[in-house]
Amino acid sequence: MIKKMMLDYTNKVCLAPMVRSGELPMRLMADKYGCDLLWTPELIDKKLITTTRIENKQLNTIDFVAANNNHQNSKKPPTEAIIFRKHPQESGKLILQLGSSDPELAVEASSKVIKDVDGIDLNCGCPKSFSTHSGMGAELLKTPELLCSILRNLVEKIGKPNNKPISCKIRMLANFDKTYKLVEQIVTTGISNLTIHCRTPNMRNRQNPFWNYLPKLIPLIEKNGVSVILNGNFQSKSDLIAIQKALNNDKISIMMAESAEANPSVFSEVPKSQDQLITEIFELGKKYHLYSGTKFLIMNMIPGKSKYYQIFSQCKNFESMEQEIIKMNENKTIEQWKNDKIYKILNKNCQKSNSFNEEEFVKEMEKRSVEVEKFFGAWKEDAMLLDLNDSPTKRTMEIPKHKLKNNRNGNVNKRQKIEAV
């Protein structure tokens, strides 16, 4: 039996927590196009504790504002930064993701925001050094006692008194028994939902997610009254239907990150083309966000091969960007421009970009559904619970011309390659 809390995590399509990308304009867009639950980007406990809550009457938002850490000797006047901005449209579906490695700080930070959000999620999956160096994110997977004590503290001191759910987001481990044991500990802390990013901390988003252990893990989680959200290269609502069917479980939910970052309308049956979304997110950015943050969102939504990638990357402010958006919309019917990929749907598949029209998109998703069914249809316990070789694939990249070293003859070696993980 899944526990009845104010927020129901079952059978949902969710927007993943994404630093920089998951800010208010992105969440409002995802919500508009049918996203069921919205995660904020990870917010660090120590930072959140320093914030002041402000009701912004002009924008009808709640702003959590903190002083910017200007250098002590800086002559610039102190500035303030919005750490978290919530819009009433998000009410009933907004989960704040917390970065913490301390049970007390986690509670202190959560108590500041709990009245304005619908749940608190602990980040136990970020493998980046800014998270792991202080014991947060994926580092918590190595210290399950600490991880669980943070969750228990949040459940007792934040969740129960406010009748709001506590959840957590983890990654897989490369060994089945270790993953099973970890999950077993986590699901008995009193949390309501567990999100599994189906990659290990070593794996990168360009690698296919790893589903082998799921048929054993999901029953364990649900048996303890906890719901499950799966994450890792999901691309559309039809992926939810496919995975529910393949696992014969209509309670499963999915969470999307990079596919939604590229096209925030992926939550609807058939997504919109990039030009429409860029126009919309620009308006939201102008109203609720900084120019730099808005430009970042928009650049993630422009296919690299579009002529507009260069054009938008040169924009310096909202005004110049607005001019380019007007031209982009006018050019849609002009022969020379209308084949540009910006007028199609941008789809991300393990970081590979594709551009589709509506019909092609639907066909592509149908192909994926068949693959999901095939994978779980062929699932056999003895073959599937083996250790995973999760060494990250090496990516070789051509060195940009200006960085190529001259060889002894003074000629550049065009085949010099660098390895990047």
Ligand X SMILES: Cc1cc2nc3c(=O)[nH]c(=O)nc-3n(C[C@H](O)[C@H](O)[C@H](O)COP(=O)(O)O)c2cc1C
Contact predicate 172/197, CB 8 Å: yes
Q: CA 342 to CA 334: how far, in whole Å?
A: 13
**Residue numbers annotated as active site:** 126
Q: CA 373 to CA 366: how far, in whole Å?
A: 11
Compute the chain's Rg from CA coordinates: 22
CB of 114 to ligand X, least distance (A): 19
In the bound state with ligand X, the residue whose beta carbon lies nearer, of 284 and 328, is 284
Residues 6+ apart with CB under 8 A from 163: 5, 6
Extract the tokens encoding 266.
Answer: 């992926």
CB of 298 to ligand X, least distance (A): 14
Residue (of 112, 49, 123, 47) closest to 86 by Cα position: 112
Contact predicate 38/29, CB 8 Å: no
In the bound state with ligand X, the residue whose beta carbon lies nearer, of 112 and 348, is 348
CB of 167 to ligand X, least distance (A): 11
In the bound state with ligand X, the residue whose beta carbon lies nearer, of 17 and 303, is 17
In the complex, the residues that contact ligand X under the rule CB under 6 A are: 16-21, 41-42, 97, 123, 125-126, 169, 197, 205, 231-234, 256-259, 261
Contact predicate 199/232, CB 8 Å: yes
Q: CA 16 to CA 11: how far, in whole Å?
A: 15
Angle, in degrees to the nearest 10, between helices 24-32 and 274-288: 130
CB of 348 to ligand X, least distance (A): 7
Residue (of 207, 140, 257) closest to 421 by Cα position: 207
- 61 pairs with which residues across the strands? 56
CB of 39 to ligand X, least distance (A): 7
Q: CA 12 to CA 255: how far, in whole Å?
A: 8
Phi-psi region of 20 (alpha: psi -120 to 50; beta: other; left: phi over 0): left
Q: Within 13 Å, how many C-alpha atoms sit on residue 115's CB side?
A: 6
Q: CA 41 to CA 32: how far, in whole Å?
A: 18
Q: CA 144 to CA 336: how far, in whole Å?
A: 58
Q: CA 90 to CA 400: how far, in whole Å?
A: 43
In the bound state with ligand X, the residue whose beta carbon lies nearer, of 42 and 118, is 42
Q: Which helix (H) or strand (E) holds 255?
A: strand 253-256
The number of angstroms, rounded, from the C-alpha of 391 to the middle of its chain's C-alpha atoms is 22
In the bound state with ligand X, the residue whose beta carbon lies nearer, of 233 and 331, is 233
Extract the tokens encoding 20.
Answer: 């920089």
CB of 40 to ligand X, least distance (A): 8
In the bound state with ligand X, the residue whose beta carbon lies nearer, of 240 and 328, is 240
The structure tokens 């750490």 sit at 83
In the bound state with ligand X, the residue whose beta carbon lies nearer, of 21 and 61, is 21
Q: CA 173 to CA 207: how far, in whole Å?
A: 15
CB of 327 to ligand X, least distance (A): 28
CB of 72 to ligand X, least distance (A): 29
In the bound state with ligand X, the residue whose beta carbon lies nearer, of 18 and 105, is 18
